[in-house]
Structure 1
Amino acid sequence: MLGLFLVAAAAELVAVAADLTVLQWIAKPLLALSLIGYLLRAGRRDLVTVALVLACAGDVALLARGQTWFLVGMVFFLGTQICLLVAFLRRSRPRWPTFVIGGLFWLTANALLWNHLGGLRVPILLYSLALVAMAAAATGHGRRVGAGAVLFVVSDLLIGLRSAGFPLPAHDVLVMSTYAAALALIATGWANAPEPANPID
């Protein structure tokens, strides 16, 4: 499954860089699907696996054009972040300064982009809150999961910058490379994490 993921990730980056639409429709959904298979083989049938199912649906929605499909994709990814957040908090509680730092980052990023987001302001405000909360909660689950969560924030911040009219050079390649790395780190880190002796309900 990880081999399939690597092939899909390489194909997706080539497709994005060369603007090969058909290849993107094939490769992008395989990113989450291959990691779902990996987690199932590792015996992980939990909210992280559900989060990847929602991420796959979000990826398909974002392949379509237009703001409506962008919002549909955002709803699916909101579900992804909520599932990850709940899964992480069920296992451990990170230290409160992590949430404070995340909250300050969330306020600053939204304040800076607010005047440039138009009708996407409120959806991005709500989605980014769940995203940052997920990343803060991920810090209690080892470096790999934590790094994956941070890369998820970076990838979505890049999407926010593009929505605000501030794209970077090779913007789509940066978005997809950080996103693919985020999924891989979270999935593999989660699969290799020991089950807690006393999970938090």
Structure 2
Amino acid sequence: MVLRRLIVLLFLLSTYAFALVLRLPEFDRKNGIKEVFLHDHGDRIEYTIVFWDEDHPNTLTDLLYDLYRLYKWGRFYDIETFFLYPDRIHFPDDFCDSETYFQLENLHNQAELSLDQFEHFNGKPVVYISTWNHMFSNKPLRGVSYLNYKVEKTAFGTRNDAERKYSWRKNVKLKLTLWLFFASLGSMLTTILLKGRSKLCIVVKGLTTTLIATIAMLNAQGPEWLIFAGLIFSLMGDVFLEFDSLFFQGMLAFFTTHLLYSIAFFKLFGASAWWIFVLIYAVVLFQYVFLKNHLGKMKVPVLLYTVMIATMLSLSFAVLKHEIYYARTLIPMGATLFAFSDSYLAWDKFVKKLPLRNLMVLSTYFLGQLFIALSAVVT
């Protein structure tokens, strides 16, 4: 049974994966296609297209619409389906012969068009993405430049299979990730409130990092396990930094975290542009110049730690070279918050006491770690 299914899958991929051409407006490439699911129904092939997101033309409406979609459908991803027959294409409710890409009315329509009604490219029918919410059409919009979309990742399955993979309502792992996300936020706030007021803080602080590490563990594949390992060292660092006598051990634990993150980012995305390294190293080392006169015997350890932070932060921006929608935001933002937390803590410890120390250090630290852990869901 497994062998037969594999043979059918290979046949589908070789026969239908490029049986048509999808064209997406170049200006909306960031919401491009993440994955395509194919399923053979005998007389037709089901195409289920998974887009990274869909952006409403109004920014505020888009934010509210994203929250609505996350609640109703359990995902930010946009999923659309149509059927390819030997002589026609059927769009159940996602056809729109639009006048503009940002059209807001008359979006979801049913249509069944013969293949003769489509443009052809290298003998294959061309399906245009015609609106911001990824309706389809057989006609291009006037004055719009398009990308011929190469289907780089194709899966075997139906619309239901796509929903089970990308919707937390149908995916147990995603549902657990969502609950862990909210639990870690609650634990983070509790840690901030207890810091300096109760010895219980060390327990809740460790719990917060454990919850975040569990998110990474649930979703890790390949190099992402290095992120999980980094979070384990962060947990050790959290404990060490609660005791002044173990500050060096805490710094060593977090040095290892930055090292593991750096390796993970490089393995996943390669190196960042050279100018990013130059800019970040300049900023971070400039801060070290102001710190060094206050460091005493810690000059060399802090310098090495500073270089490691700069390396991790620089490599986090390598994801910008790739069209991985959510990771392009989560990883650089998470790394920046993590680096800011370290900088604020160093200035507070070695130079002078800063206002709102616990709030500034802990909130940016935990949010940074949380964003990096969540990147494992989408990379």
Give the TM-score, by structure 1 length. 0.89
- Select 2:275's aligned residue among 76, 97, 101: 97
Higher fraction of helix? 1
Contact map agreement 1:11 1:23 (CA 8 A) in 2: no
**Structure 1 counterpart of 2:229:** 50
**Structure 2 counterpart of 1:109:** 287
CA offsets, 1:117-139, max 9 Å, x none? 11222111101110111011001
- Select 2:354's aligned residue among 154, 168, 173: 168
Q: Trace 1:57-68 onto structure 2 (pairs within 5 A).
A: 57-66=236-245
Shift of 1:112: 1.1
Distance 2:275 2:304 in 1: 21
Distance 1:43 1:110 in 2: 34
**Structure 2 counterpart of 1:199:** none
CA offsets, 1:10-38, max 9 Å, x none? 1111012xx22322111111122111211
The structure having more radius of gyration, on CA atoms, is 2
Contact map agreement 1:117 1:163 (CA 8 A) in 2: no
Distance 2:296 2:220 in 1: 43
Distance 1:38 1:177 in 2: 18
Shift of 1:43: 3.8
- Select 2:209's aligned residue among 21, 32, 39: 32
CA offsets, 1:42-61, max 9 Å, x none? 24461000000000001011
Shift of 1:82: 0.3
Distance 1:190 1:130 in 2: 22
Distance 1:25 1:190 in 2: 27
Distance 2:215 2:244 in 1: 30
**Structure 2 counterpart of 1:178:** 364
Distance 1:154 1:37 in 2: 24
**Structure 2 counterpart of 1:198:** none
Counterpart residue type for residue 32 of structure 1: T
Q: Pick 1 or 2: higher relative contact order, CA cutoff 8 A, min separation 6.
A: 1
Shift of 1:190: 3.1
Q: Which moved more, 1:168-177 or 1:39-48?
A: 39-48
Q: Which moved more, 1:162-171 or 1:147-156?
A: 162-171
**Structure 1 counterpart of 2:378:** 192
Distance 2:228 2:291 in 1: 32
Distance 2:210 2:232 in 1: 7
Identical aligned pairs, as a percentage?
24
Distance 2:376 2:295 in 1: 34
Matched, 1:144 2:330: yes
Shift of 1:88: 0.4
SS across alignment from 1:39: helix
**Structure 1 counterpart of 2:345:** 159
Distance 2:284 2:258 in 1: 15
Matched, 1:84 2:261: yes
How many residue pairs end up in the alignment?
Answer: 189
| Aligned Cα root-mean-square deviation (Å) | 1.3
Contact map agreement 2:285 2:306 (CA 8 A) in 1: no
Higher fraction of strand? 2
Shift of 1:191: 2.5
- Select 1:3's aligned residue among 182, 185, 194: 182
Contact map agreement 1:145 1:190 (CA 8 A) in 2: no
**Structure 1 counterpart of 2:252:** 75
The structure 1 segments of at least 4 consecutive aligned residues displaced by more than 6 Å after TM superposition are: none
The answer for unaligned runs of 5 or more in structure 2 is 1-179, 320-327
